[in-house]
Every structure is written in C-alpha cells, then in structure tokens.
A and B are shown apart, each in its own frame.
Chain A
Amino acid sequence: MQVLDSNIPSGSLAEKWARHKAAIRVVSPANKRKLEIIVVGTGLGGASAAASLAELGYNVKAFCYQDSPRRAHSIAAQGGINAAKNYRNDNDSIYRLFYDTIKGGDYRSREANVYRLAEVSPNIIDQCVAQGVPFAREYGGLLDTRSFGGVLVSRTFYARGQTGQQLLIGAYQALNRQIDQGNVKMYTRHEMLDLVVIGGKARGIIARDLVTGEIKRFGAHAVVVATGGYGNVFFLSTNAMGSNGSAAWQCYKKGAMFANPCYVQIHPTCIPVHGDQQSKLTLMSESLRNDGRVWVPKKKEDAEKLRQGKIRPNDIPAEDRDYYLERRYPSYGNLVPRDVASRAAKERCDAGFGVNSEGKAVFLDFSDAINRLGRSVIEERYGNLFQMYEKITDVDPYKEPMQIYPAIHYCMGGTWVDYNLMTTVPGLYSIGEANFSDHGANRLGASALMQGLADGYFILPYTIGDYLAGEIMTPKTDVNAREFSEAEEKVKSTLEKLMKVKGTKPVDYYHKALGHLVWEYIGMSRNEAGLKKAIIEIQALRTEFWGNVKIPGELNNLNQELEKAGRLADFFDIAELMARDALNRNESCGGHFREESCTEDGEAKRNDEEFTYVSAWEYQGENKEPVLHKESLTFESIKLSQRSYK
C-alpha cells in the first residue's frame, strides 16, 4: 500500500505548477466568507499566509507566542533572499536556481516542489518591493544583488544585514492591514498546545493564553502550522529563545508524519561559544563570506600561542596562514555550501588548529577586502553585523579578524507535506521551515526567506482552496465537540503533571543536558554506536526530567518556566526521533554526516541506491517505536552525482 501520496502533478517540470493551478478547485468569494482558517506562527510563512488568505476573503485567526507578530524569528535572518531574476545578466534562470537548490540539498529534495519554488521566486521580490521593503539599490536606482554560498551567480537580494527583518515587516504590515480591516483576528501571547482532529480532519487547536494561563479552544475549517524549526533541541542555537517544535510535534502525535528529522543545518559562521554561562549563539551572516576569507594558522605552535593569548592574529604573516577553504575547494573557495564549510572548520579545529581559548574557532578575515574596497564599502555592506560582533566580543572586526565556529541554525526536516503543502492529516497544512519539502539534506543560504514567502504568498493560498472547496457546506466548527474536550483535558493534565513534579532541578538544567547529548551524538558527525547511545541516554534524561524538574509559580498566571518545560518535554521526543532517523540513514548527505559513509579525503558520500527517499515517521503512541514510511525520490530532469565544490 502506498501510504504517502505526494500528489505531484503530471507533465514536464516546467509545466507542473501551471497545470496544477488550472486543475485545482477554487472557492467562490461568497463561500470564502463562510470559511475559517487558523494560522499558527507569524514569521515569514505564517504572516504572509495569514495576510494573503485574509485578502482573498477567508476568516483568519492568527496566533503567536510573542507579544507581537513582528517578533517571529524570521526577523533575525540577515543576509538575503534568492530569486531567479537574472537582473545581473549572469545567466541565472529558474532552472539554474532549481538546479543549485537540488544540488545544494544533496539530491534529497523533491524535484517538483523545488522547481515551483524557483518559479515563484521572482514574484516574491516584486511583492516585497510593492510593500515598501527597502532593498539595497544600485546608484541607477535598480535593485542590487550579491552572491551566496553554493552558487556561481549573484541572485541574492538584500536589505543591509537585516533582510529577514525587512521582509517580515513587509509581511507584518500586510497582516496589520488585514487586522485593521477585521479579516484577521490576531492572538498574541498564545501558544498552540494541541491540534484537534474531528472525523479525520483538522478542525481546530487548543491554545494557552500565556498571560492568564487560560486554556482556550479555537475552531476552523483548516489549520496552517507555520511554527518554524526545532533547532533549540540543541539548547545552544541561533534560534530565538522561544523557538520550539511543540506545535509540529502535537501534529505528529495526531497523525501528521514527520519527515527527515535528522536533517539539521549547522551554520559555519557563528560567534563561538564562551564559557558555560551562555544562553544562545549569534550568527554572522553567510554574506560575509563574499568578502571575508576563512583561515587558521598553518603552524600548530601559532595556534597554541593564539589560544594562550600570547600573539594576536595580525602577528601571523600571510605565508603562515592556511586559507583551508580556498585550498580544498578552489572553484567555490570561501563560498562553499554551509555543510561543507562547517565540517571543514571542525576538521581543522579537531586537528588542533583552533584559535580561541577553547580551540573551537577559526578566523574570518576582512583585511584583504578592506584594502581592496576601502572601509566605507565594507561598512555599508555589513556595518550592522560588524557592530553586533564588536558589542558581543569586544573585538573590532575592522582591525582584527572575526572568530567564528559552526552552530545549529536551521532544520531542513519537518512535517511531511504533499505538493499542496498538506500534511497526512487532511485540512492540516505546514509551511516554511516547519515543513520538510524544499531543502533536502542541506539548505542553501538565502533560501529560507524565499521558501517561507513562496509558501505563504503564492502557493498555500492556491492549494488550500482545493481542499476548502470541499468544505463549503461544512458549518462552523463546534468547539464544544467531544474531540475539543478531550484535547483540552489532555493539555491540562500534561501541564498539571509538570507542575506537580516539584523536583529539585530547573528546566534549563535538563535542557542544557539534552543539548550536550544532541550536539555530541546527533551533531556535525554521527555514527551508529553514538546514535544508539544517544537514544538510551535521551530516554533516561527524559525520565529524570519528568521525575525531578522544578517549576515554581502558578498554572493560571504568566509562567515562563512552565512554558519552557512544556517545550522541553517535546524536545526530548524530537531528539529521540532525530537519532532514530540518523541511525536509519546510513549514508552521508548534506548536513547529515555518517562517519561510516565518507570518501578517502573525508568528504561526505551519499548512497543513492539505498537512500534516495524521504523518511517519514508515523507516531504509534506513547513509548512505542514509530513506523518508518519511505517516499522514494525520482529525478526526471537532473542526473544525480556526488556533489563537488572543488
């Protein structure tokens, strides 16, 4: 039996989306007014979807845990957004963007979805410009672009180092307009804690009002989850402190399969960890690799002196510096994809060439660029990033190279969706980072913004109509239905159970412990023994957590420790599934590096014969092993080859 039907339309790649749009059903304006849609999360995906759906005439309820929809973590994306505009005349095209994304994802994504993403990418730029997003401009008044890792053209549009912020504000403004017109009801400081399924279809959610602690029921004809990734499973990550996987995880427990959980992205250019008091890691945009050169000392004794603070990086002459990315990958140099750059940094540091006191940092050096272009050009391009770096580290990157080290940044894995972005639960959709569909095993830089906005502005508003056309006779969801009561009871009992533990250790204690485990065994480098060990240790830690966590405060009041505890409870489960998935996938691909599967010179080696599929995990119940379903990936227009950036 074929469990997973990806619903990919027939026809050639270039025709699929147009043919599909022509074939799917459309809801009349009069009927749209009768239909309700819940959108959870207000990042690029959620805000653009909520606004676009409301513009079409649907009644939208939007939710975010922050105090304002503008604070969603898309706001922190720095570098840019890709689009196949070919404004540079450098032979970019929809096909080239598609090809780069498939190759960058190490041939583990769905061709049809990726092609569609590339196809709608130019519309995104137009839309954002019309909203008033202040993209960088050339002196002639036209849009400027820059290059990103893993590509040979310049197709990344940007607004200084704050592209995510500006795109999110664009979507937020569109959302505000719909709130003002009464088409969107916005619920801030509300967190989705369960999905309600009635008659096999998604019909609503249970959410906690984070200010009063009240548990509330919300009904709809369809539910859209746009809640981002689960990177905070690592404790230290570049995600926001509140970013979590709980909404997606509740969907998983209600029947939405979870795909490729082991595909997480370790970003090569983050500010390194200092000491043990740190709460979060800060990214330095990939765009910096346009002008920065990555190096470590050639001589171990120089690295040793750097670690002891006996010399400064500028004391090391050019001939004693190892620009290892340029050395290993001459054709892409400093602009190799993220997974490749991260592993190369780890390799140098593991070999003893790390440059900070912990030995876990490499240099990102701008001195050549400053000499070539002048300080003012660098300031205009990256000023806010340089300022941020100096505020955090107390080192002036105009004068001395930055120190960087890889850190967890993005989750390619997520809720399984078909071509319509619908999950395995009818009426439940997943968009943006929350789904799995477009980035395969590794995401290229500046593609997350593109995907979030493609899903929210241009894909979901069409595809959801096809489902809702079948729901026009369905009355408003009755929130007094038995399924709502059951879901609410379950949510309440989980929260009460957490409060009742009254143990001895704060939530952060367990979160840090989980983070260490995940970084050690399910991080940049994985092997069978480690993954098996991880599963056992995660289970043990989870048991300890449920028996000994200490949560002060009250259930019916604002309680940040309780919020954290609920999210961590799900992170344990997510971490375990990540380990299972990584264990099953005995090949190296993209961000997933299995030590058992590499070439002689240490590069990742895929195993296409056995693993050209999407792993979709189906929940079987508490303490039961999930079942693995495989969606095989077929490549019609691209020939699979081992990725090479040499």
Chain B
Amino acid sequence: MADKILKKLNIVVWRQKDAKSKGRFETYAIENISQGSSFLEMLDILNYNLIEKGIEPIAFDHDCREGICGMCSLYVNGHPHGPDTEVTTCQLHMRKFNDGETITIEPWRSRAFPVIKDLIVNRSAFDQILQAGGFVSVNTGGVPDGNAIPISHEDAEEAMDAAACIGCGACVAACKNSSAMLFVSAKVSHLAKLPQGLVEAKSRARRMVAKMDELGFGGCTNTGACEAECPKSISISNIARMNREYLSARFSE
C-alpha cells in the first residue's frame, strides 16, 4: 500500500554558524513528503532543496539510522526525538505529522552540551563521565571461562535493560535541570548488577558522579521527564539504585 503524501509542511529550525556565533530560527517550506519517510529523510530532502537554491544545508548529527548508535539528537516540537515514544529521531516517521503542520526543530539545550553548528551539539561530556569509571578494570587476556561466573537470568536481563542506553543525551535534553542522572545511573546499574562489575561498584559511582557534577550537569529532582523521553525506556529506578551505591560509597569513605 502506498503511503500518504504530506503536501506541505513548515519547518522552523535553529540555525547557528558555529559555536561562537549567535543563532536564530529560520522557516522553510517543504512539499510532498511521503508519510513512510523517516524524519531525517524529510530533512535530507529539505537540505537537497536548500543546496539547489544555494543555501547552506542544515547540519545535524546522524549515522546508523537504525535507532542504535545514539548520534541523532533533535528536539522536535518540544520533545527530544520528537512526538513518538521509544524512538530516536532517525526512527521517527512522518506518519506522526499532519499535512500543513509547522514543525519546530532545535538542538539539545544544555550548558554541558554546547552547540557546534545548527543542530549539532558537543556531547563529549558523556564520554568523559564514562572515562571516569564506566568500565570493569580487566585487561585483554587472562580472564576466566565465560561460564565460570553464573549469572541469574533475571540479573542478566536487568543488566541488559540498563546497558541498552545509547548515550544520545535525550535525558539531559528533557530535564529542566539538564541532569545526567539517568545516563550515569544506567551505566552504574548495568555494571553493579553483574558480579564482574561489583568489585569496583563503589569507586565507580563516586568517580562518575564527581565527574558529572564537574562538567556542569544539573541536579535530579525526580520529575521523570528523562524516563518519559528515553528512546530505550531506561527506567528511573536506576537512579534510585545509583543513589544507594553512591551513598554507601560515601559512608564507606
């Protein structure tokens, strides 16, 4: 069955030449978009048209377009990754929009994620947090057999639930405080749920939280906006678990 066509859309989009320049909203019209197209395919077409008109295309981050790499990062109509649930922007489809609609696109807004150009932001703060302790300290080689450490089915599943985080930053973008608690707690929980990660659980929580605070993310006030907007449904129960890990780490200091 052929998809329906959206005859006309108005796209209001944030344009900013580089990190230092002042940004502004621009409005572009686009016609004849198939509802079967993804949101980013719509942007591809808009960019194609802009290039033909001699206008610089809109810069936006994207890569796998399968909802797993975490590179795409658009704030669409007031929601990170747009109006659909449990999807990244690349998996958002135009059937979620109506003909004639005005669609507003902004970059992630957070002091810890400065704009690089147009809709592209710098999320290296996330990498820095993970570098501060989001790992198990094992070298290559000299490890025990994979079946030497039995892990219950439930624990493995719970660890997997937390490990599903793609590091896109939607949680930070959704939070009025720009808190990175959901992201950080997902990594803390993933590793704390497994015996391999348990050894360093306390120092990990301590170091990662310290780095998070240092990088300018805000505090968590439990509004739950992060969970609601997370494309991978990471649960805020991870935040509670991290708080426990963190407190027990502080008490054992």
Q: Does A352 contact B (CB under 8 A)?
A: no
Q: Does A125 contact B (CB under 8 A)?
A: yes
A-contacting 9-mer, from B51-59, B216-224, B238-246 = B51-59
Q: Does A470 contact B (CB under 8 A)?
A: no
Q: CB-CB < 8 A to A458: which residues of B? A: 140-141
Mark out the residues of chain A between 67 and 108 whose CB falls within 8 Å of any chain B CB in the assembled complex: 67-73, 75-76, 85, 87
Q: Does A309 contact B (CB under 8 A)?
A: yes
B156 near A68: Cβ-Cβ < 8 Å: no
- Pick the contact of B71: A48, A66, A138, A142 (CB < 8 A): A66
Q: CB-CB < 8 A to A76: which residues of B? A: 64, 66, 68-69
B65 near A241: Cβ-Cβ < 8 Å: yes
Q: CB-CB < 8 A to B146: which residues of A? A: 85, 122, 125-126, 128-129, 135, 143, 157
> With A and B bound together, what is the CA distance between A174 and B191 in angstroms?
13
Q: CB-CB < 8 A to B84: which residues of A? A: 391
Q: CB-CB < 8 A to A128: which residues of B? A: 146
B120 near A558: Cβ-Cβ < 8 Å: yes
B151 near A558: Cβ-Cβ < 8 Å: no
A277 near B68: Cβ-Cβ < 8 Å: no
- Pick the contact of A242: B63, B120, B145, B151 (CB < 8 A): B63
Q: Does B127 contact A (CB under 8 A)?
A: yes
Asked whether A240 and B132 contact (CB < 8 A) given A174-B140, A550-B51, the answer is no
Which chain A residue lies CB-closest to B139? A55
Minimum CB–CB distance for A626 against chain B, Å: 31
Interface 0/1 of A115-126, CB less than 8 Å to B: 000000011011
> With A and B bound together, what is the CA distance between A458 and B142 in angstroms?
11
Interface 0/1 of A192-214, CB less than 8 Å to B: 00000000000000000001000
Q: CB-CB < 8 A to A277: which residues of B? A: 33-34, 36-37, 41, 44-45
- Pick the contact of B91: A70, A211, A391 (CB < 8 A): A391
Q: Does A607 contact B (CB under 8 A)?
A: no
> With A and B bound together, what is the CA distance between A179 and B55 in angstroms?
40
Mark out the residues of chain A between 485 and 504 whose CB falls within 8 Å of any chain B CB in the assembled complex: 504
> With A and B bound together, what is the CA distance between A55 and B137 in angstroms?
11
Minimum CB–CB distance for B34 against chain A, Å: 5
> With A and B bound together, what is the CA distance between A126 and B139 in angstroms?
12
Q: Does A279 contact B (CB under 8 A)?
A: yes
A552 near B51: Cβ-Cβ < 8 Å: yes
B-contacting 9-mer, from A28-36, A158-166, A218-226, A255-263 = A158-166
Interface 0/1 of A457-489, CB less than 8 Å to B: 110010000000000000000000000000000
Interface 0/1 of A387-414, CB less than 8 Å to B: 1100110100000000000000000000
Q: CB-CB < 8 A to B144: which residues of A? A: 126, 130
Q: Does A278 contact B (CB under 8 A)?
A: yes
Q: CB-CB < 8 A to A131: which residues of B? A: 135-136, 138, 196
> With A and B bound together, what is the CA distance between A550 and B47 in angstroms?
12
Minimum CB–CB distance for A228 against chain B, Å: 12
B143 near A279: Cβ-Cβ < 8 Å: no
Q: CB-CB < 8 A to A48: which residues of B? A: 140
Q: Chain A interface: which size bin?
A: 35 or more
Q: Does A553 contact B (CB under 8 A)?
A: yes
Q: Does A364 contact B (CB under 8 A)?
A: no
Asked whether A70 and B34 contact (CB < 8 A) given A550-B51, A561-B51, the answer is no
> With A and B bound together, what is the CA distance between A242 and B63 in angstroms?
6
Q: Does B31 contact A (CB under 8 A)?
A: no
Q: Does A426 contact B (CB under 8 A)?
A: no
Minimum CB–CB distance for A397 against chain B, Å: 15
Q: CB-CB < 8 A to B151: which residues of A? A: 137, 141
A275 near B3: Cβ-Cβ < 8 Å: yes
- Pick the contact of A557: B54, B117, B122, B167 (CB < 8 A): B117
- Pick the contact of B67: A140, A186, A388, A550 (CB < 8 A): A388
Q: CB-CB < 8 A to B183: which residues of A? A: none
> With A and B bound together, what is the CA distance between A241 and B150 in angstroms?
39
> With A and B bound together, what is the CA distance between A166 and B152 in angstroms?
18
Which chain A residue lies CB-closest to B160? A134
Interface 0/1 of B64-87, CB less than 8 Å to A: 111111110000000000001011
Which chain B residue lies CB-closest to A52? B140
> With A and B bound together, what is the CA distance between A461 and B142 in angstroms?
14
Q: CB-CB < 8 A to B40: which residues of A? A: 279
A134 near B194: Cβ-Cβ < 8 Å: yes
Q: CB-CB < 8 A to B127: which residues of A? A: 68-70, 176, 186, 188
- Pick the contact of B196: A130, A136, A550 (CB < 8 A): A130
Q: Does B147 contact A (CB under 8 A)?
A: yes
B153 near A173: Cβ-Cβ < 8 Å: no
A275 near B34: Cβ-Cβ < 8 Å: yes
Interface 0/1 of A231-258, CB less than 8 Å to B: 0000000101110000000000000000
Minimum CB–CB distance for B12 against chain A, Å: 21
Q: Does A274 contact B (CB under 8 A)?
A: yes
Which chain B residue lies CB-closest to A384? B164
Q: Does A169 contact B (CB under 8 A)?
A: yes
Q: Which residue, of B52, B93, B156, has the highest number of chain A Cβ atoms within 10 A?
A: B156
Q: Which residue, of A134, A137, A504, A508, has the highest number of chain B Cβ atoms within 10 A?
A: A134
Q: Does B101 contact A (CB under 8 A)?
A: no
> With A and B bound together, what is the CA distance between A48 and B134 in angstroms?
16
Asked whether A179 and B56 contact (CB < 8 A) given A143-B147, A279-B41, the answer is no
- Pick the contact of A282: B48, B66, B120 (CB < 8 A): B66
> With A and B bound together, what is the CA distance between A157 and B145 in angstroms?
14
Minimum CB–CB distance for A148 against chain B, Å: 18
B59 near A129: Cβ-Cβ < 8 Å: no
B196 near A388: Cβ-Cβ < 8 Å: no
A-B contact pairs, 16 of them (CB 8 A): A66-B63, A67-B61, A68-B127, A70-B69, A75-B69, A131-B136, A134-B193, A162-B68, A174-B140, A186-B127, A279-B40, A391-B84, A391-B87, A394-B93, A506-B48, A552-B56
* Given A130-B136, A138-B153, A141-B153, 12 more pairs with CB closer than 8 A: A71-B70, A73-B64, A76-B68, A134-B193, A165-B164, A166-B163, A275-B37, A277-B45, A391-B84, A394-B95, A552-B50, A560-B59
Question: Which B residues contact A (CB, under 8 angstroms)?
Answer: 1-3, 17-18, 33-34, 36-38, 40-41, 44-45, 47-48, 50-52, 54-57, 59, 61-71, 84, 86-87, 91, 93, 95, 116-117, 120, 122-124, 126-127, 130-141, 143-147, 149-153, 155-157, 159-160, 163-164, 166-167, 190-191, 193-194, 196-197
Question: Which A residues contact B (CB, under 8 angstroms)?
Answer: 48, 51-52, 55, 66-73, 75-76, 85, 87, 122-123, 125-132, 134-143, 157, 159-160, 162, 165-166, 169, 172-174, 176-177, 179-180, 186, 188, 211, 238, 240-242, 274-275, 277-280, 282-283, 309, 357, 387-388, 391-392, 394, 457-458, 461, 504, 506, 508-509, 550, 552-553, 557-558, 560-561
Closest 7 CB pairs of A and B: A141-B150, A173-B135, A130-B143, A137-B156, A134-B159, A134-B160, A129-B146
